[in-house]
Amino acid sequence: MLLTTGLLLAAVPMGVIGDDETPVRVIVTFKDKVDEKLVKDNGGAVNHKYTYIPAVVAELKPSEIKKLEKSDKVAYVEEDAVAYAVDDVDDAGKPSKPAPTQPDQSLPWGVDRIDADQVWPIETRSDNIGSGIDVAIVDTGIDKDHPDLDANIGTGVNFVASKGKVNNGAWDDDNGHGTHCAGIVAAEYNTIGAIGVAPGATLHAVKVLNRQGSGSYSAIIAGIEWCIGNGIEVISMSLSGPTDLQALHDECDKAQGAGIVLVAAAGNSGSSTPEYPAGYNSVISVGATSSSDARASWSNYGTSLDLVAPGVSIYSTYKGDTYATMSGTSMACPHVAGTAALVLASGRAASYGDEDGTWDAGEVQECLEKTADDLGTAGPDIYFGHGLVDAGEAATGIEG
């Protein structure tokens, strides 16, 4: 049984919205620069103006939308869509129960399988735990005071409205999904709970999904914009939706162009149809594998898939200072995001980077793909992409 947090809702094309004149929430993208006055002159109310793409979020009636679309200043008008946390999947068809609080520390099998522990100082291969790398968890937030995360949490921001208002400071996790993904990236190396792929990386909570695990594309775009403006180096997005919005595509391209490595869950529909944002070329799409290196039956696949990572029965942090075992491409995604952090912190840029010896996002992706473990196919494959991410080789250059 495949679980998501709700039904996936596709955007309705502008031409078939209907004639009831009920205001519609849309993203208006301009050809050159934003003209808020044009939107207001056509009866619209502007809710948000983006910084890195020439677009606004607005509410307009269908007749007003038709008038606005005729302007030679407007590139396109798209109805806002809904994305969901790529939720937990297990044999019982229900999320697993949190483990007892503060168990003894153990190495999760997924972190072990991708050889992340071979990068850390305890293995003497390197001196790299991802320190100094800023990773944004674009999700349901992060448990602010989780004892296995708190030393690694930097800043946070919220874009989810409550009672019609957005409190940017309310980024604490009220769902659990974001905290679980955060722990896979950077649960601390201490004496309790789990260990993340990059246990020294700095985590930033970018809350775009609500208590139920759903959120608007417009909020996700705002979250990515915040990342561009706040020095984020890796974005981990364990969320997806079926709708391909050009505004979201544009924002992902802007973020990659700004040097950010974007990673997203491929989806849990067991389908070859791309979901978004994973389906964009500027985003690393991640499918899920089991402990036997088999593709999880519910994991999406296809030509847009870039990499796979452990995603079945993954133990990590959870809301309320607890731990849980969960499955999904949501869990696979942060394994790759954490590996990207190790690569960025590795000092290996001279091997892949430009003459100045610095990484760009495309070079990080190339490194991850070239060092991935071949799971039995030659070259890119629709089920495994370029293969299983190998943190040990990617961050050290040494084959494990």
Out of 139, 143, 321, 360, pick the active-site residue: 139
| SS percent in the chain: helix, strand, coil, step 5 | 25, 25, 50
What is the side-by-side strand order in the sheet with 55-60? 45-49, 55-60, 24-30, 74-79
Burial class of residue 372 in the structure, from the number of CB atoms within 10 Å of its CB (0-12 exposed, 13-18 middle, 19+ buried): buried
> Using an 8 Å Cβ cutoff, are 95 and 326 in contact?
yes
Element (H, E) at 158: strand 153-158
Q: Which two tokens stand for residue 237?
A: 């997005």
Q: CB neighbours of 16 closer than 8 A, spacing ≥ 6?
A: none
Q: Is 96 a catalytic residue?
A: no
For the question of residue 177 being annotated catalytic, the response is: yes
Q: Tokens 């792929």 identify what position?
A: 197
For every residue of 190-240, DSSP letters joined together read SSBS---SSTTPEEEEEE-S-TTSEEEHHHHHHHHHHHHHTT--EEEE-EE
């109310």: which residue's tokens? 45
Let me know: does 87 contact 328? Beta carbons within 8 Å: yes
Helices assigned H by DSSP within 95-212 = 109-113, 177-186
**Secondary structure (H, E, C), 345-399:** CCCCHHHHCCCCCCCCHHHHHHHHHHHCECCCCCCCECCCECCECCHHHHHHCCC
Q: Which of 126, 134, 173, 177 is an active site residue?
A: 177
- Is 127 one of the catalytic residues? no
d(CA 147, CA 163): 31
Catalytic pick among 126, 238, 330, 346: 330
How many CB atoms are located within 10 Å of the residue 307 CB? 26
Residues in the chain: 400
Catalytic residues: 139, 177, 330
